[in-house]
Structure 1
Amino acid sequence: MTARRTVLAAGAALLATGCASRRPEAERRKAAEGPVRTDAAPLERRFPLLGRLHGAHWLGYDLVGGNDGRWVPGPSDIRVVGVAALVDGRFAALTARHAFSPAHLPVLPDRLAGFLPADARWLRSGSFDTEITADAYSGSFFLSEARGLVCFDSVNPVAAAPSP
Structure 2
Amino acid sequence: MNPQARHPSESMVIKSELVLPNDTNTLNNLMGGRLMYLMDVVGAICALRHCSHGVVTASVDNVSFKAPIALGNILTLEAKITRAFHTSMEVHIEVWAEDVLSRVKTKSNEAFFTFVALSADKKPLPIPEVIPETEREKELYAGALRRRQLRLILAGRMKPSEATELKALFENL
Using the size of structure 1 for normalisation, the TM-score is 0.29
Larger RCO, structure (CA 8 Å, separation 6 or more): 2
Structure 2 length normalisation: TM-score?
0.28
State the structure with more CA Rg: 1
